[in-house]
Amino acid sequence: MSQKTTETSSRGGFASKLGFVLSAAGSAVGLGNIWRFPYLAAKYGGGIFLLIYLIFAITFGFTMMVTEIAIGRKTGKSVIGAYKAVNKRFSFLGYLAALIPGLILPYYCVIGGWVLKYTTSFVTGSGRDMANAAFTSIDGTELTFFENFISHLGQPALFFVIYVALTAIVVIMGVEKGIEKVSKILMPVLLILIIGISAYTLSLDGAGEGLRYYILPNFRDFTAEKLLKTIAGAVGQLFYSMSIAMGIMVTYGSYMRKEDAIEGSVRQIEVFDTAVAFLAGLIIVPAVFVFSGGDAAALNAGPGLMFITLPKVFDAMPAGQFIGAAFFILVALAALTSSISLMETVTAVVMEKFRLNRTKSCIAVVIATLIIGMLSVMGYSVWDTVKIFGMAKRHSVQSFCTTL
Ligand code: PFF
SS3 of the chain: the string is CHHHHHHHHHCCCCCCHHHHHHHHHHHHCCHHHHHHHHHHHHHCCEHHHHHHHHHHHHHHHHHHHHHHHHHHHHHCCCHHHHHHHHCHHHHHHHHHHHHHHHHHHHHHHHHHHHHHHHHHHHHCCCHHHHHHCEEECCCCCEEEHHHHHHCCCHHHHHHHHHHHHHHHHHHHHCHHHHHHHHHHHHHHHHHHHHHHHHHHHHCCCCHHHHHHHHHCECCCCCCHHHHHHHHHHHHHHHHHHCCCCCCHHHHHHHCCCCCCCHHHHHHHHHHHHHHHHHHHHHHHHHHHHHHCCCCHHHHHHCCHHHHHHHHHHHHHCCCHHHHHHHHHHHHHHHHHHHHHHHHHHHHHHHHHHHCCCHHHHHHHHHHHHHHHHHHHHHHHCCCCCCCECCECHHHHHHHHHHCC
The answer to the question of residue 4 being in a domain is no
CA-proximal residue: ligand 1, atom 11 (nearest)? 243
Ligand 1 neighbour 197 (Cβ under 6 A): no
- Kindly state if the Cβ of 23 falls inside 6 Å of ligand 1: no
Q: Tell which atom from ligand 1 comes closest to the C-alpha of 273.
A: 4
Distance 208 CA to ligand 1 centre (A): 31
When pLDDT is averaged across residues 100-118 and rounded to a whole number, the result is 94
Percent with pLDDT over 70 in the chain = 91
* pTM as predicted: 0.89
Q: Which domain holds residue 241?
A: 13-403
Regarding the beta carbon of 373 and ligand 1, being less than 6 Å apart is answered no
Question: Over the chain, what is the mean pLDDT?
Answer: 87
Confidence of residue 303 (pLDDT cuts 50, 70, 90): low
Ligand 1 within 6 A of CB of 342: yes
CATH number at residue 176: 1.10.4160.10
Give pLDDT tens digits for 47-70.
899 999 999 999 999 999 999 999
Distance (angstroms) between ligand 1 centre and the Cα of 207 equals 29
pLDDT 10s digits, 183-238: 999 999 999 999 999 999 898 888 888 898 888 887 877 788 888 999 999 999 99
Instruction: For residue 78, report the distance from its CA to the centre of ligand 1, in Å.
Output: 18
- Assigned domain for 127 exists: yes
Structural domains of the chain, count: 1
Pocket of ligand 1 contains residue 251 by CB under 6 Å: no
For 4-24, write each residue's pLDDT tens digit: 443 445 688 999 999 999 999
In a domain, 46, yes or no: yes
Q: Indicate whether 95 belongs to any domain.
A: yes
